[in-house]
Amino acid sequence: MKKERNPPLDRNEDGHDRDGLLDEETLIRRAREGDERAYRELYDAHVDRIYRLVYRMAGEEELARDFTQEAFLRAFRRLDQFRGDAAFSTWLHSVAVSVALNGLRKVDRRRERERGLDDVAPIAVRQARPEPDLKDRLREAVDGLPDIYRTVFLMHDLEGYKHKEIAEAMDVAVGTSKARLFRAREKLRETLGEAMGEYV
């Protein structure tokens, strides 16, 4: 997991530390002034973690790329609204999660419409679908979670985010994040049923 930028220590008047790094506050100020290099530094510092999370949520390279780009652009365009009450990373994550969830809803709606056309296929054809293997069952179980449970599960159990980070990114209380993870695991255990027995 990407290590966050160190707090400002021994910085000169320009905000550079001894390694020539700019602290985040200075970067944000410079970005607001239109310094493109400041935008790039902010991007470089956070893109890996954002992309990883968004990819876990979307599962497709093109969607993950679109969501990541949109999240950064939206955050950069709204830099004036960033008050610095929380870390930039926290704020950026909340933008990214919101972009991804909204984007996935749109994609789901579009696919539902497309699937509607397939529903006219004869029942016999639909029954011909082979029994999913274990890997598919795991995927279907996670995919089947409601978005808010799935996001918490992916962030916490697969990507290692803390409840505090998840809560801030999703704009909920820490207790809500814990409750959603509880429900996600519960649903996974219910859904997987027998398949779980192969591991547990």
Partner 1 sequence: MNANDEPLDEELLRRLKGGYNPPPEVPRDEMWAAIRAGLAEDGVETAPEEQVVRLDAHRGARQTSAPGRVSGARWGLWVTAAAAAAVLLLGVGLGRMTAPVPQGPVAATGGSEAPEVAERTNPGPMRQAAARHLQGTETFLSLVKSDARTGELSPEVQRLAGGLLTQTRLFLDAAPEGDPELRRLMEDLELVLAQVVSVEAGSPGTASELNLALDGMDRREVLPRIRTWSGGLAGT
**Chain positions contacting partner 1, by CB under 8 A:** 2, 5, 14, 16, 19-22, 30, 33-41, 43-45, 47-48, 51-52, 55-59, 61, 64-65, 68-69, 72-73, 76-77, 135, 138-139, 142, 154, 157-158, 182-183, 185-186, 188-189, 196, 199-200
* Residues in CB range of 174: below 8 A, 6 or more apart: 163, 164, 167
Q: CB 154 → partner 1: shortest distance, Å?
A: 8
Residue 73 or 173: the one with the smaller Cβ distance to partner 1 is: 73
CB nearer partner 1, residue 2 or residue 126: 2
**Nearer residue to partner 1 within complex by CB, 57 or 95:** 57
Q: Which one, 122 or 193, has the nearer CB to partner 1? A: 193
d(CA 113, CA 108): 9
Q: Show the tokens assigned to 86.
A: 């929380």
Minimal distance in Å, beta carbon 3 to partner 1? 9
Q: Which is nearer to partner 1, 94 or 183 (CB)?
A: 183
Distance CA 37, CA 148 (A): 35
Closest by alpha carbon to 156, among 134, 179, 137, 140?
179
Shortest CB 155 distance to partner 1, Å: 13
Tell me the closest approach of the beta carbon of residue 117 to partner 1, in angstroms.
Answer: 27
Name residue 22's beta-bridge partners.
Answer: 16
